[in-house]
Every structure is written in structure tokens, then in C-alpha cells.
Amino acid sequence: MKSRFTNVDVFAIVNDLQGLIGMRVNNVYDIDHKTYLIRFVKSDFKAMLLFESGVRIHTTEFGWSKNILPSSFSMKLRKHLRQKRLEAVKQVDHDRIIDFEFGSGEFTHHVIVELYDRGNVVLTDREYMILNILRPRTDKDTDVRYAVRQCYFPEGRKRDSTPFVACKIDSDYVRELISNCNAKENLQKVLASKYPYGSALLEHCCRKENVSFKWTAKKVLEQENGMDGLLRALQASQALYEQLRTEPCKGYITFRQERNSAGETIEMYVDFHPFLFAQLNQATVKEFATFNAAVDEFFSKLETQRLDQKQLQQERAAIRKLDNIRKDHDERLAKLQEAQQLSELKAVAVELNNQVVDRAILIIRDAIANQFEWAEIEETIEEAASLGDPVASKIVKLDLQKNHFVMRLSPDVESPVDAKAVVNDQEYDEEDELENKRTVDVEIDISLNAFRNARRLFDLKKQSALKEAKTLEASEKALRSAQLKTQQELKNVRQKTNVGKIRKTFWFEKFFWFISSDRLLIIGGRDAQQNELIVKRYLKPGDIYVHADIRGATSVIVKHEGIDPSTKHGTIPPKTLTEAATMAVCFSAAWDAKVVSNAWWVYHDQVSKRAPAGEYLTTGSFMIRGKKNYIAPSQLLLGFGVMFRLDEDTARQYLENLALEKQEEADKADELDQENVEQHVGISRLDDSEERKNEDEFSFPDVKVDLKFLEPSTEEAELTSIVPPMDSRKAPKQVQVQPAAIRRKERKKLRKAKALANKKGSTVPAANEAGAMEEQPDNVDVVAAGELAGKPELTVKDDEEITIEKGEDLQSVPDEEHAADEEPEDVSAFAEETLNAVQCLVGNLQSNYVPLYALPVCGPYSAMSNFTYKVKLTPGTTKKSSAVKTALHLFLQDKTVGGVSKDLLKVMREQDMSRNIPGKVKVSAPHLSSAKKR
């Protein structure tokens, strides 16, 4: 299978990429450490350029999963290339190097992609001075160092694509080339090293001139028209080479078709070419309008075809194993049947020749009784046989140590006895006896007469028949078991392959996530970077932000697409808020410390990256403006379960049933009295006057109430900073939970610190402070303010909570600074995928549902009340990997597990199951101890 570009391929792709000239760079992404994507835009047209160092480069129409956070190399490319126009795409020195020129004048930058050897990607300025390089290296041949602040083009090397120069092709040169090379070298090796056309192009032209590419140099000289044909082939190669370099061309993919165990035809791509070469005439070929389209198709299907290839290999190995078992089974039965036939044949021969056998027994007994030496007895029998004695001539061999001798008898009554049979001392072969039915060598027991020897042989036949029956029964069981096992292996292989093809990773799987009891998606960040990402990119109008009242907890977002136009906020059920709070507390340091903490929630428009003037927020830190709504302390209780992705038809049926159930519940709710109704609706948010009277009370607020905290108001407001967890080396040993109320002692401490800072000299004028006091909220609550930089005169311990009194400058940092780092995304696409996930994922798999794959989930245990497969997780000492193995074993031991769901559970990967578990746990479930014993 072709895995990288040739020189001719580079020609063709450079021609296709000319269409990108004039487009601007919108963004740069990385798929892995070698593969990058550049998004180009122009008016309403978009294009994605994909290049993999040392392998390929092309535009793509397929979706590629990008890394969550861009690498440093991607960030460097973004910095220098964003919003710049692509001015030129050219090949360097007829080599497998492509130079992209962005911008003009002094703002020009180049991205150079190397497609040979291990490859490289280099970012340079207009003078080709290297600004960043993917793989710093030193050229072994020229001893030139390629690194940052070095010139990419050493002195003497041409910087631009040079015009095409025809290679030297004349009769004398070619003849000298062939004559001077090794006579045993073939044309492919000789020509490929001297001409840059590539093996495929050279072979094509040689075939056209009836010159075999496998001919040796000696054979070319010996052929009558060998040199003339080779000369014409080289001239045709040069013409075709120039054509491919200057003209756009079509693309071709060769493939082969194979069948799997299910009878399905699988296409396996083999090669891609910019020209339909002569050697491809016998191959199965797909044609594309452009070479770029062919390359895009080839590499986009590569991973799927690798799965298919692996499936075929595993299927063949399983079938080969079954065939070997069946073959062994047949061979064993055949040997037993052959032994029965031979025993019966020998017994019949003894019965038919009983007189001769008895006489031979008497002769040997007499000799033994007369105390003859065994050698003398053997010599006597041989001498008698040579004299024509009919009994001695039938004795083939003596085995007196076992009290046996061998006679050659005829089992056929009508067949005459061959008295002149030659007797030899060689071992007799029973297989040869079956081929020659006229005589058979029979082992005779000297202690028995002829009829008893015959009976002994018949008994051997019966024993062999009984052994055959037992072997047949055991072999059938073993064969049946092997067939079932092979079928299961084939089924598992197909299931894994199909899941690998069908399985689409949802955008939220890179975070902590679960689906609440009210069918709302809830996500949380794994670290400070992800906390930053989910707030900047995924916190949309209608969503709710939830955070635990403890340092270093994850930022949790309740995704909700329904917005009340009157309040611009979504209606979130209290149960969902409770489950989100449980998630926020459990995925924090409280889990390992076994500390129960409060949590609070705010609306989406209360979360901001705007920091007070003179300060900045680190990654994963946010300012919370306005009142925080506290939720009762949550238990450290999670669940681990399995959800199933339904197909479209089943999902539609499931949603219809769910709508009917909700309608029935609504009808029943209408019949209840007002007191019961109030227990199921959200509790209204207290107004500020009630809150001042009842500030120590706690309740769930109604999320429908509008907050005017962003408008000029006389109401009191809070400003809270959410900061990421501290470095584990600096973290305190005891986790300290931040209380909701502001401590008076800390207020005094802060006032003193502020007064001291003013005495030393403040850079903020009093007028500005007075203005800030009028415009900003009265109280500013900063959680762990030591993480906010820019205030060196205020030194606060990492685990303290402080209050900055009014008068602090709270001028905002412009959002444009943060917007520059944001990646433009389609909000409607995320909303649609979120809705699709919620609709198609179920925890309770019914018999009439059609699942596509299983998805492990870790979230609050209360959200898994209707899950078929679930276990309870609490803080403990069991590692995550052991916990998921225990849970999976318990699920598979369940007798109610169906065939389809059991297959889907088996193909779940351990890393997918364990990645969302917060830390060391204790697994609890009914019948867990009995399942472990099994």
C-alpha cells in the first residue's frame, strides 16, 4: 500500500493547490504532532488544507477530529499566518518540498512542507529565516543545521522553483550508462537513480516500448531493439513528466476487493496516481476529477480500511483454527475406521488359514520346547522357506520377546497362496496391506491357537469401534464448541469493526459529562484549560454555570436550549441543579479528602473573563458578577453506568414514548392540590428586600427571574473570581471549604492591607476611586484572590477568602483580547449535536430498541435511576481500572443481559470507561460479592 508522495505526485498536487491562491487563512489546527489543518476562507467559500509531515498534502472535504487545545507549533502558525492571503504555492528544486507564501512585502511568511524521508514543517520569514520548525535536524550530506534563527536555504541553494531542465537523453549517454553499470542490475534500479521521473512513470513508458522494467543491463544490450526501445521510452518519460508538471490531471486509485465471513465485499485501497499508467491496465481502478480528490479519498478511508484489513486477518485466523480442528477430527476418525477394517481383515485371514496357522504355532512351540536358540529357529524357518515349505514361507518375522510371530495370509478364499513370497526381516507397513487386499501380515500369539487369535483380532475391532463412537461423540462436542467459539469471535470482530466505523465521538466526551434525570446535558472541565474552554466556547444563553464552594473544583455547565424571552434565561429543574452540584463537588479535591461542600449556580451572563483593572485572570479563572444561588450540600456519591446510542428509527420511537409519558404526568399533576404542585415547580427567586431579611435562609431560586445586575442599580452585588486548582506541590494538606458568608475578621484584615498600600503610595487617584465607588457594586467577593496577578502589595494566603471593599477600580479588560484566542464555531451545530445526543442516548435498553454502541457514563447516582447497568461509587481505595473491570464483570454476569447489549458491553475500551472516574473509589452494587466469586 502506498504511504507517501512521489515526485510526480508533488507536481500534480501543486497544480491542484493553485486554486487556494488569493484565499485568507482563517485558523490553524493540529490533528496530531505531525498533521495540521489550515482553514482558508474567501467570501462564502471555505477550504481546509491538510498536510502531514513527510507523507501527504491536499485539501480535504472530510471532517477530521482536531486536538482540544492547539499545540505550540499551531499557536506559532496562528500568530504569523492568521488573516494573511496565500500568495503562491510552488515546488522547490523539483524536490518533494512545497513552499507556501503568505502575505506580501515585509509581512511575508513562508510555510515549507517537506514530503521526503521523515518530513518536516518549517515556518520562515520573508528572508527564509526559520522562525519555528517541527523537527530540528542536521543534514548528513551537507552538514547544514536546520533550526530556529538559521536560514532554511544555505548559500548556493536556489530559493525558488527553477524552470524545467531536460535531462540528458541521447544514444551515446544511455548506452554508456547501461554499459558501465552492474550487469545484474535491472532497469528499475539503474534508471531511477539517474532520472527524476519516478519508477511508475518510467515503467509506463518502458511498457509502451515493449521494454521490460525487470530486464538486466546485460539483457538490454543483448536484445536486438533493446537500446532503441529504451531510448524512446526515456524520451517519452521526459515529455510525460513535463506534461504532469504543467497541466492539471485526474486522479486514480487502484483497489482490490475481498469478502469477509459475512459475505460482504470490502474494498481495500492499494495505490493512488495522477495518471493511468500502463501497468494499471489489469488493476481495478477508481477515477476522480482531480488528483487532490483521489488523495483525499485515499487517506480519509485509510483508517476504516485498516479496520477492515484487521477484521479480515482475525476472521481468517479464526476460520483457519476451526479448519485445523475439523481436519484433526476427520483424521482421527479415519484412522479408527482403518484400524477396524484391518483388524477384521486379519481375523478373517486367520480363520480361513487356521490349519496353516496352527501348524506354524506347533513348529515354533516345538523349537522353543527343545531349547533352540532364537537365531537357530529363525535360520531353520528361512531354510525351510527357501526349500518351498508352504508353512515356513508364510512366516514373515519372529518376535519371540513378545511371544509373537508374523504370518502373511490371504483373506480371500479364492485367491491362491503365493508360496514363493519372499520373506524379509523389514518392518511391515499396515497402510500398504490395505492397498493390497490379497495378503495381509497378521501378528500371531504363540500361546493361543488359530481361532483364539482370530477372536482376539475381532475383539480388537470391537474395541476400536467403541473407541470410534466415543471419539466421534467427544469430537462432535469439541467441534461444535469450536464452531460456536469461532462464530462468537467472528461476531466480536465484526462488532468491534462496526463500532469503530459507526462510533462518532460527541463533542462533549472530551469533558466530564452526564445526562441529568430531566434529560439535560451537563459538562465539566477536567483541568484549568478545559474550564476555560467550556466557558468561552460552550457557555451559551440559557445555560447555567455551577461551581462547588471549594478551591480547585471543576466548572460545570448545564446545557439548556430553551430560553424564556422575558428573562433571557432558561428554566432549569431543581433536580438537575442538584445533580450538577453533586458533579461539581465530586469532581474536586473534596472527593479525595472526603469533605462535603456546598455548591452554587449563576446564569450564563454572570460569568465573565473581565478582571478588575490592574489584575489579570489566569487560565481557568472567571469573575462572577451578581448574586450566587447556593445549593444544599451534596453527598459524595457517584454512579458508573452504561448508556446506549440508538439508531434514528428507535430514537424517534423513544422520543414519542417519552412525550406520551410526560403528557400523562402533566395530566396527573393538574389534578393535585396547590401544595403538591408547588413541590414540583422551581422556588421563586427572593427579591433583594426579602433576601436582606432572610439572608441566612437557603432555597432553590427560580431561574426565570431576571437579574438587572449588569445595569446601573442601587442593589448590592457580588463579584467572585473562580480560579483553577493550585499546583499540587503548593496545595495545603487539608482541603478548606469556602463558606458562603463573608467573614468579618477577613474584612478588617483587607481594610488594613489596603490602608497600608495607600500609605506606601497608590497609583490610583482619589477621584478615580470615588468614581469607581459610584459605578461599581458595594461588595466584591474574591475567592482565593492570591491567584489574581497584578496586585503585589496585597499578599494573601492561597487558601484564604478575602473581601475587597468598595472603592477598588473595577474597569474591565476589553473582551477583544480574549476573543482573539477564541476559535470561531457554529453555535447551531453544537446545539443540534447536543440535542441529538440527548435524544439518542438511553440508559434503559428495551427489547425493541436497536442500539449502535455502548457509552460509559460517570455522574451522580440519582441521574441513573432508570439505568439497566449501573454501580454506586463512593470515595475509597480501589483504582479506577480495577473499578471499571469489576463493574463490567458485574454487568456481564447479569442474567438479564441480552445478546446485543452483551456484545456492545464487551467492546467498550477500558480507557474510555475509566477516564471519567474522579479518583480512587469504592464500588457498591447488589450481588457484587457473589459476582466477584464467579
Q: For the domain that residue 141 is a member of, what is the CATH number?
A: 2.30.310.10
For residue 89, the Cα-to-chain-centroid distance in whole angstroms is 34
How far apart are the C-alpha atoms of 305 and 260, rounded to whole Å?
13
pLDDT score recorded for residue 468: 79
Residue 904 lies in a domain: yes
- Measured CA to CA in angstroms, residue 512 lies from 263, 448, 524, 597, 913 at distances of 41, 86, 5, 19, 12
User: Last residue of some domain: 246, 265, 289?
Assistant: 246
The secondary structure of residue 597, as a DSSP letter, is -
| Domain that includes residue 361, residue range | 339-456
CA 918 to chain centre: 22
- Distance, CA of 333 to CA of 471 (rounded, Å): 7
Q: How far is the C-alpha of 416 from the C-alpha of 436, rounded, in Å?
A: 14
Nearest in space to 421 (alpha carbons), one of 394, 387, 442: 394
Specify the amino acid at residue 303: E
* Beta-bridge partner residues of 443: 406
Secondary structure E strands in 654-800: 719-722, 779-783
The C-alpha cell at 535 is: 466557558
Strand stretches in 497-637, DSSP E: 512-515, 521-524, 544-548, 556-558, 599-603, 607-608, 622-625, 629-631
* pLDDT for the residue numbered 649: 76
Which of 663, 678, 693 corresponds to the end of one domain? 678
Same domain, yes or no, for 110 and 211? no
In sequence order, the 6+-apart residues with CB closer than 8 A to the CB of 578 are: 631, 632, 634, 860, 862
Nearest CA to 407 among 360, 442, 432, 455? Answer: 442
Same domain, 439 and 379: yes
Q: Is residue 855 part of a domain?
A: yes
The angle subtended at Cα 585 by Cα 584 and Cα 588, nearest 5°, is: 90
For 435, the 3-state DSSP assignment is: helix
| Distance, CA of 926 to CA of 78 (rounded, Å) | 54
Residues 119, 209 within the same domain: no
Q: Which long-range contacts (CB under 8 A, 24 or more apart) does 895-901 make?
A: 896/868, 898/845, 898/847, 900/851, 901/644, 901/845, 901/851, 901/854, 901/868
Residues 228 and 109 reside in one and the same domain: no
Calpha distance 226→282 (Å, rounded): 25
Say whether both 177 and 71 belong to one domain: no
Q: Are residues 121 and 79 in the same domain?
A: yes
- The CA distances from residue 610 to 529, 817, 894, in Å, are 17, 10, 53
Nearest CA to 275 out of 314, 312, 303, 248 is that of 248
Q: Is 235 found in the same domain as 138? A: no
Q: Is residue 502 part of a domain?
A: no
Spatial separation of the C-alpha atoms in residues 54 and 43, rounded to whole Å? 32
Tracing cell 427560580 back to the chain, one arrives at: 702
In this structure, are 39 and 141 located in the same domain?
A: yes
**CA-wise closest residue to 518 among 680, 695, 303, 702:** 680
Other CB atoms within 10 A of residue 106 CB: 7
What is the predicted pLDDT for the residue at 37? Answer: 93
Residue-level pLDDT at 488: 67
- Coil, helix or strand for 464? helix
Q: Indicate the helix (H) or strand (E) that contains 801.
A: strand 801-805
**899-906 helix and 450-502 helix, angle to the nearest 10 degrees:** 80
Looking at the fold, whether 11 and 123 belong to one and the same domain comes out as yes
Q: Residue 296 domain-assigned?
A: no
> What are the E-state strand segments in 571-637?
599-603, 607-608, 622-625, 629-631
Instruction: Give me the residue label for grid cell 451559551.
Output: 540
129 and 185 part of one domain? no
Same domain, 137 and 189: no
Phi and psi dihedrals of 341, rounded to 5?
Answer: -60, -40
For the chain (length 934 residues), average pLDDT per consecutive 10?
85 92 93 91 88 92 78 93 94 89 93 92 94 90 86 65 57 78 76 79 86 78 78 86 85 84 74 89 90 90 72 76 82 84 86 87 86 84 84 85 86 48 41 56 86 87 83 77 71 55 72 91 90 88 90 88 63 89 92 90 88 77 89 88 84 75 70 56 46 43 39 42 48 39 46 48 34 35 35 33 29 34 48 69 81 89 90 92 88 74 78 87 82 60
The three-state DSSP-derived secondary structure of 749-774 is HHHHHHHHHHHHHCCCCHHHHHHHHH
Q: What is the DSSP letter of 788?
A: S
As a whole number of angstroms, the distance between CA 538 and CA 558 comes to: 10
Q: What is the dihedral of CA 128, 131, 133, 137, to 10 degrees?
A: 70
| Residue (of 138, 134, 88) closest to 115 by Cα position | 134
Q: What angle do CA 897, 898, 903 make, to 5 degrees?
A: 95
In a domain, 354, yes or no: yes
Helix 354-369 vs helix 302-352: crossing angle, to nearest 10: 80
Distance CA 245, CA 8 (A): 7
| Residue whose entry in the numeric block shows the C-alpha cell 465539566 | 524
Radius of gyration of the chain from its Cα atoms, rounded to whole angstroms: 43
Domain boundary among the residues 246, 267, 294 is at 246
| Residues whose CB is less than 8 angstroms from the CB of residue 623 and which lie 6 or more positions away in sequence, other chains included | 607, 608, 609, 610, 611, 617, 719, 720, 721, 722
State the Cα–Cα distance between residues 807 and 668, nearest whole angstrom: 55
In this predicted structure, what is the pLDDT of residue 828?
Answer: 53
In a domain, 658, yes or no: yes
Both 96 and 202 in one domain: the answer is no
512 within domain boundaries: no
Gap between the Cα atoms of 255 and 258, Å rounded: 10
Integer Cα distance of 618 and 790 in angstroms = 11
Whether 797 is in a domain gets the answer: no
**H or E element: which one contains 444?**
strand 440-445
In the chain, how many domains are there?
Answer: 5
